[in-house]
Amino acid sequence: MTAKCPAVFGISGQALTVDEISFLKDANPVGIILFARNVDTPDQVKRLNDQIKNILGSEAHILVDQEGGRVQRLTPPHWAQFPAAETFGPVWQENPAKAAEDVKKHYELIGNDLAALGFTVDCAPVLDLRFDWAHDVIGERSFSEDPACVADLGRAACEGLLAAGITPVIKHIPGHGRALVDSHHDLPEVDASKEELAQTDFAPFKDFAKSEVAHHVWAMTAHVVYKDIDPDHPATCSSRMIQTVIRKEIGFSGLLIADDLDMKALRGSYREKLERCFAAGCDLILQCDGDLSKMQEVAGASPAFSSAKLNL
C-alpha cells in the first residue's frame, strides 16, 4: 500500500473511535504514535496496535517514545521501569566497552517489549548533549556531555533496538541540548557559533552517521533556531539546516521526521507549517495530540507521498 499522507498521527484513547477509523481509512497515513493516554494493559495495547494494522496494512508503522527514565509511555506495573540514559555515561567514562554492551542489552529489552505489542518504531535514543546550565527538557535523557560517549552509546542503543526488530529514531538532530527553553512551549534560539556547534552538539550525530547502523534508523528534527546558521527558521523548517548541515555536513541520509507540529516552537497554520517542513527537506511530520479535526486539517494540507521513502 502506498501512503497518501506523509504523517504520523496521535489518537485520542485506548481504542479507535468510529470517526478515527473512517479518517485513517481515507487519509492512509504512514503511521500512528501512541502516548500514555493510549496505554492500559498489554492486551489492550496489542489489540489497539492490531486494529491499527488491520486498517492501515501490515506495513504501517506504530511509534512510541520509550526511552527509559521520565520518557517512558509503557510503565509499571505491566512493564519494567528502565533507567534514564544518563545512568550509562559515567560507566562509559570508566569502561566504554561495558557501557556499550549494557546499553545494547537495555535497549534490546525495550525493543522486545515493543515488538511483542506490535510496535515497529521507538523514538529513541536521544543523541543530544547534556548541558547542566540549559533547560532540563533534555537533562537525564542524554547519555553525557561528551560527544564521543553520546555517539558510542547511541550506536549501541540502536543496535539493541534493531536486534529486537524495532526501528530507532535518533533525536533531536542536529542537537537540542543547549536550548534554554523547552520547544514544547517556546522557540529555543541558540547563539553558539557554527564552529562551536560542529565540535559539540552536531558531533554525536556526525559520528553516528558514519556507522553502518545509521543506514537503518530514522532521525527526528529539533525545533531549534541556530542563529549563526539560519537566524530565521528552526532546523525543522530550514533548508539550510537540513540540506547543508544535516544531510551534507553531518551526513545523515536516512528518513527525517519533523518533531510534533503542535509544539509551540513552530508558528503559523498547519498548512504553513507543512509547507515549511517539506520544503526544507523533512520526509514525514508528527501531529500528536489526538484531535481529529486537527488530523483532518493536516491530512487535507499534506502533499502526496510515496512509501518508497520509508526505505531510504
**Sign of the torsion formed by the C-alpha atoms of 11, 17, 23 and 29:** positive
Tell me if 233 sits within 8 A of 276, measured CB to CB: yes
Q: Which region, left, alpha or beta, applies to residue 83 given φ > 0 means left and ψ of -120 to 50 means alpha?
A: beta
Rounded Cα distance between 287 and 298, Å, is: 8
The DSSP bridge partners found for residue 170 are: 219
Cis previous bond, 77, omega within 30: yes
Rounded Cα distance between 308 and 312, Å, is: 7
Q: Which region, left, alpha or beta, applies to residue 175 given φ > 0 means left and ψ of -120 to 50 means alpha?
A: left
Cell numbers 521507538 correspond to 122
Return the H-helix or E-strand segment holding 103: helix 96-117
The catalytic residue among 122, 152, 207, 259 is: 259
Q: What is the pTM of this model?
A: 0.95
What pLDDT was estimated at residue 182?
86
The catalytic residue among 184, 185, 191, 215 is: 184
Q: Which long-range contacts (CB under 8 A, 24 or more apart) does 229-235 make?
A: 229/194, 229/197, 233/276, 233/280, 234/183, 234/187, 234/188, 234/265, 234/266, 235/173, 235/174
3-state secondary structure of 199: helix
**Sign of the torsion formed by the C-alpha atoms of 293, 284, 57 and 161:** negative
In the chain, the amino acid numbered 203 is A
CB atoms within 10 A of CB 101: 14
What pLDDT was estimated at residue 1?
45
What pLDDT was estimated at residue 303?
84
HSE of 266, CA atoms in CB hemisphere, 13 A: 26
Terminal-to-terminal C-alpha distance of the chain: 17
Taking alpha carbons only, the member of 110, 222, 94, 220 closest to residue 156 is 110
Q: Say whether 132 is catalytic.
A: no
Q: Going residue by residue through the chain, which has 312 residues, state the pLDDT in tens, using 9 for 90 and above.
A: 455 799 999 999 999 999 999 999 999 999 999 999 999 999 999 999 999 999 999 999 999 999 999 999 999 999 999 999 999 999 999 999 999 999 999 999 999 999 999 999 999 999 999 999 999 999 999 999 999 999 999 999 999 999 999 999 999 999 999 999 889 989 999 999 999 999 999 999 999 999 999 999 999 999 999 999 999 999 999 999 999 999 999 999 999 999 999 998 999 999 999 999 999 999 999 999 999 999 999 999 988 765 555 654
What pLDDT was estimated at residue 312?
40
Q: Say whether 259 is catalytic.
A: yes
